[in-house]
Amino acid sequence: MDDTGLLRHAIAISADAVAHGNHPFGALLASPSGEVLLTAENTVVTERDVTGHAETNLVRLASRTLAPADLAAASLYTSCEPCAMCTGALYWAGIGRLVFAMSEADLREMTGAHPDNPTLALPCRDVLAAGSRRTPVEVVGPLIADEATVHHAGFWG
């Protein structure tokens, strides 16, 4: 599986989110062979839904359309480390692997105290470590953070 290529695809989805009037976050779900199964972008602004993060949107769609065994075998790729809400969603959905480009700490450094993007200093690994799944979620990242920051640069003003 090409983690870097799939992360670049998630980053491209984050650019689509901005083009559609939303915050720059994108995510996708891939099979073990690297086939893209589903994609989702942030819809917080256009849907007027504070839970419309790219990862949560993806998990909602995935849990409605894929079997639990497929979710367990899948990897969620995202342009930025998922927040506690999104991490909880992928945990409850039973997704087996998470790969992210930019860390929440990098995002916090870029956005500062921007009112449209308050962040939680709660890394996804800490959220997942609090779980009791028999098979823990594998976490990979941050990777290619410099590429993921491109769509955030200047966005948060």
Beta bridge pairs of residue 97: 75, 138
Which amino acid belongs to residue 131?
A: G
**Are the beta carbons of 95 and 74 closer than 8 angstroms?**
yes
Q: To 5 degrees, how large is the angle CA 119–CA 138–CA 149?
A: 40
**Are the beta carbons of 37 and 31 closer than 8 angstroms?**
yes
Which sequence positions are flagged as catalytic? 55
